[in-house]
Structure 1
């Protein structure tokens, strides 16, 4: 039997089992209990926050034969069919891969058909990916939907959804969960599944989840399978190097992380998150949602550098992460950013002159020289033809043009001008 991942095994089946989305749960559950369900809902929020789960629970509640105060019973045939993915009352469509107008017309042609249950629910995931033609086709149905049909539109980018669609839907926003709720979820799953995970493992899982319940349980699966990855050591080493304005140590920490199999972009994103946490601490913003280890690290770094330094570091690293998306060698972009970050973190009296000989003896000079060489090779590869542009050759001067001018022939003696 194939292993079922933890996030699928512990997916909420009732509204009461959803964590941290009280406003969404209350709106949907009360609408079902009071029979005031609208014809269209727009659920938005970051990935892994429960958009699809809420839509499936709503589909169960609308067709449950033993409804209990707006909650599905999860025991009747209709509820079990939705849980098993075999229900004829719930139709799911991935709008990212079925985004053309013909796909939408084919779907909408079946809207008016009957359904075994009371309500037919259409779940359109990533609805912001629809083409303008598909949006117009959907809009026509949203304006005059059949009485037995409910549309649930899910998206991670609601600002990209057409305003005409948003105005015809009730918009419910799902939020990332605080670390306390993620820790409680993790401990409940560990206890129920009889897993052996210590406090250090749970702390790592909560940090890796970054507010997403699904990502948290996926991280728990990884910890159970292979232990705690040594990811934080790279971020800690980079922060130490930045605080000490040590470019060589920063480049060395990055190289060590890559040797352990950590991608440069993942390293950059983790460092950006750590810098943001330190920035919030330096500004006096409460960061109680952070795990204790992350909070202590942010407070330590914020105590060593000024908020202005952290701001410049955030800007430089953010620019580098954008450039890394289209770079043929993302590592070079991150290395250049780290050198700039260490310069930004240097004391106010530091200058941009040559590095001291002691630093060069520690390998900093060699690291900078190697980085400069790699940047030059990258620039050469980006030029048309695969090399650096060739200087235009000097103009060619013909031999005739270089010879001295020939004087006109002299007139014969004794003859005057004509």
Structure 2
């Protein structure tokens, strides 16, 4: 038998099994109960939060032969069995990232007019923001006025790239990352259903690796089970965070080198370090990021007290920019190393003027006996006397001399008339 990954094997089959998206589940369940399902939905959110799974459950509930009174599919009729096996003709999935041209959209609009074996036919367009502008425009008319039996569900991780004309024709619902507490409980339940023996350390590790994504969390659990335990480098992010808190460049470089040597992607290390520093900054302000557990908050608050807010903010800025630069960099580790060098160089420069000012003040203060004090006093006297002399010269150059008296003028005139003997 071919092995199925945990996230595929335990994909949600009912609305109640979708975790962390209560607002979406409540809206769709009420729409099914009251038969007020819209003609088009736009589901946006991070990866692995349940966008495509929710769309499949909606199609399953709409075509269920014996639906329950709470809007859930029965899970036992032929239609539900076809949905669970992936052979239903009432759900058409299209990857818009690889089928993003006008021809693909025209094929959908042409088939939409055809009938469906069940009550409703659902078209699921994943990563719809990857459609070209021409393909998006080709979809507009059918999206605005589809046939009565057709429902469009558009899924995307970047709703801002979707054309505004498409967003205005759909009911937009945003999905959020799942809280760590819910993910921990979900992993524990999945482990019991899969008959896996794991402890709380494994649960904390996979939840941290998942970063709020259900699919990534279960993929991390698959890796732990396959490897036979938690990798030895699981604390690499904590080691780098501790070095940054202590402002130790050597320890930071050692943590990066050890992590990369263990086979960890520098991008993943930078991402987890940035998230940890974010949690530390918020814990210092008395705020929980929503991703830190109650047991981690005291430790995060303690680390916040060991570093200044300026260093914390500077580290977040540099590592955030490093994550952006790593996307196109041929050597991601070099980008991470340079970010750490800039961080500690900036901290060193901020302390340098204080040391130079102190040394200068020590040099100016006279010490060493009466002779040194006399030389300092003489130098200050010379410096003080020079401006005074300069001031006298400047006054004499500006004020004209007084006019000669009348006797002096008469004597000068007589001397000029009487020739000398």
> TM-score interval w.r.t. the shorter chain?
0.7 to 0.9
After the TM superposition, which parts of structure 1 deviate over 4 Å for at least 4 consecutive aligned residues? Answer: 344-348, 350-354
Partner of 2:235: 233
Further displaced range: 227-236 or 217-226: 227-236
The CA deviation at 1:66 is 0.1
What number of residue pairs does the alignment pair up? 354
Q: Secondary structure at the match of 1:114?
A: coil
CA distance in 2, matches of 1:350, 1:244: 18
Change in Cα spacing, 1:41 to 1:48, as seen in structure 2 (3 Å) is same
Partner of 1:315: 317
The CA deviation at 1:351 is 5.7
The CA deviation at 1:160 is 1.0
What are the Cα deviations for residues 273-321 of structure 1, in whole angstroms up to 9, with x where unaligned? 1111111112221245413565354223211111121111111111222
User: Which structure 2 residues correspond to residues 18-417 of structure 1 after superposition, within 5 A?
Assistant: 18-69=18-69, 70-226=71-227, 227-287=229-289, 289-291=291-293, 294-345=296-347, 349-350=351-352
Q: Secondary structure at the match of 1:181?
A: helix
Change in Cα spacing, 1:153 to 1:288, as seen in structure 2 (3 Å) is closer
CA distance in 2, matches of 1:66, 1:25: 20
Further displaced range: 278-287 or 114-123: 278-287
CA distance in 2, matches of 1:66, 1:102: 38
The CA deviation at 1:348 is 5.4
CA distance in 1, matches of 2:329, 2:152: 41
CA distance in 2, matches of 1:189, 1:352: 57
CA distance in 2, matches of 1:352, 1:12: 60
CA distance in 2, matches of 1:320, 1:95: 30
Change in Cα spacing, 1:298 to 1:345, as seen in structure 2 (3 Å) is farther
CA distance in 2, matches of 1:326, 1:225: 32
Superposed CA RMSD in Å reads 1.9
CA distance in 2, matches of 1:139, 1:255: 52
Partner of 2:416: none
What are the Cα deviations for residues 340-365 of structure 1, in whole angstroms up to 9, with x where unaligned? 223345595346999xxxxxxxxxxx
* TM-score where L is the length of structure 2: 0.80
Change in Cα spacing, 1:294 to 1:260, as seen in structure 2 (3 Å) is farther
Q: Secondary structure at the match of 1:313?
A: helix
CA distance in 1, matches of 2:76, 2:209: 35
Partner of 2:5: 5
What are the Cα deviations for residues 166-185 of structure 1, in whole angstroms up to 9, with x where unaligned? 11111111111111111110
Larger radius of gyration: 2
Q: Secondary structure at the match of 2:232?
A: coil
* TM-score where L is the length of structure 1: 0.81
CA distance in 2, matches of 1:230, 1:296: 25
Q: Secondary structure at the match of 1:109?
A: helix
More helix by share: 2
Change in Cα spacing, 1:41 to 1:75, as seen in structure 2 (3 Å) is same
CA distance in 2, matches of 1:247, 1:353: 20
CA distance in 1, matches of 2:216, 2:27: 25
CA distance in 2, matches of 1:214, 1:103: 28
Q: Secondary structure at the match of 1:41?
A: strand
Give the unaligned 5+ runs of structure 2.
Answer: 357-421
